[in-house]
């Protein structure tokens, strides 16, 4: 583990809010174990509280710990070339298997990033709440300094760098039948259709 990974993991474990590069756009990360950090993240972005935060995980094992209901369509997407990568999958949630911090939610949006450095952070911290580093409704800035300036408050740690892509992840809801693309991003509608061909 590098010093930088250790520093980020320590900041998050202590309830900090971290701005960091991801394999898509710049992101804001908090540990789901710290309610105060989650509250700060919503305030920083001016994000409506009825919009749940997406979750980043290191691998399928971490998905299993969250109580996700993995449908055939979700499994097909998880097994596709876009995972790890810019594909966020919405799962139904089994409350009997979900951790306490997911209480009250009936679905979760999960992504495994395609970035060795970020995966190292996630292996150290466990699942994180990660959302784009911009005010709600605005475009995500290209640099960490620009993103920090746009947000409503201060951050505990800013990791220098830029996102690897200008486009966010594609969000596919596998909780509904047929599946629904909630946000079209880096993975095209045609790619999603090809992956799911033959399942319906």
The whole-number pLDDT of residue 200 equals 58
Q: 191-200 pLDDT, tens per residue?
A: 999 999 977 5
- Domain range holding 70? 3-194
Q: Residue 84, preceding bond cis, omega within 30 degrees?
A: yes
The whole-number pLDDT of residue 23 equals 94
Interhelix angle 116-125/3-13, rounded to 10 degrees, is 40
The whole-number pLDDT of residue 165 equals 86
The enclosing domain of 69 has a CATH number of 3.90.870.10
Yes or no: say if 133 and 41 are a contact pair by the CB < 8 Å rule. no
Q: Is residue 200 part of a domain?
A: no
185, containing H or E segment: none
Q: What share of the chain is helix, strand, coil (3-state, %, to 5)?
A: 30, 20, 50
The whole-number pLDDT of residue 162 equals 84
> What's the structural domain count of the chain?
1
Q: Is residue 63 part of a domain?
A: yes
Of the candidates 169, 67, 182, 72, the one whose C-alpha atom is nearest the C-alpha of residue 114 is 169
Count Cβ atoms below 10 Å from residue 156 Cβ, excluding itself: 15
What's the CA gap between 189 and 170, in Å, rounded? 9
Count Cβ atoms below 10 Å from residue 39 Cβ, excluding itself: 12
134, HSE (Cβ side, Cα atoms, 13 Å): 14
Q: Is residue 108 part of a domain?
A: yes
Residues whose CB is less than 8 angstroms from the CB of residue 141 and which lie 6 or more positions away in sequence, other chains included: 26, 133, 134, 147, 149, 150
Of the candidates 26, 23, 30, the one whose C-alpha atom is nearest the C-alpha of residue 9 is 30
Residues whose CB is less than 8 angstroms from the CB of residue 33 and which lie 6 or more positions away in sequence, other chains included: 13, 101
Q: Is residue 199 part of a domain?
A: no
Q: Is residue 152 part of a domain?
A: yes
* pLDDT tens track, the chain, 200 positions: 699 999 999 999 999 999 999 999 999 999 999 999 999 999 999 999 999 999 999 999 999 899 999 999 999 999 999 999 999 999 999 999 999 999 999 999 999 999 999 999 999 999 999 999 999 988 888 899 999 999 988 999 999 888 888 889 999 999 999 999 999 999 999 999 999 997 75
Yes or no: say if 155 and 64 are a contact pair by the CB < 8 Å rule. no
Q: Which segments of 27-184 does DSSP mark as H helices, in order?
A: 35-45, 60-64, 72-78, 116-125, 144-150
């Amino acid at each position: 583990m590098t010093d930088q990974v250790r520093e980020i993991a320590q900041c998050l474990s202590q309830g900090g809010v971290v701005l960091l590069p991801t394999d898509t756009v710049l992101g804001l990360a908090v540990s789901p174990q710290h309610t105060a950090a989650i509250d700060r993240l919503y305030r920083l972005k001016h994000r409506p509280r009825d919009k749940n935060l997406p979750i980043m995980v290191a691998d399928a094992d971490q998905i299993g710990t969250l109580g996700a209901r993995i449908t055939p369509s979700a499994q097909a997407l998880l097994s596709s070339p876009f995972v790890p990568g810019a594909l966020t999958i919405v799962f139904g949630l089994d409350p009997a298997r979900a951790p306490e911090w997911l209480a009250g939610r009936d679905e979760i949006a999960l992504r495994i990033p395609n970035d060795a450095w970020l995966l190292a952070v996630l292996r150290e911290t466990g699942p994180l709440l990660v959302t784009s580093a911009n005010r709600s409704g605005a475009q995500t800035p290209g640099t960490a300094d620009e993103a920090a300036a746009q947000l409503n408050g201060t951050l505990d740690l800013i990791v220098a760098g830029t996102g690897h892509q200008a486009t966010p992840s594609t969000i596919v809801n596998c909780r509904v039948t047929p599946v629904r693309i909630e946000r079209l991003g880096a993975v095209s509608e045609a790619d999603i259709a090809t992956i799911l061909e033959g399942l319906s």
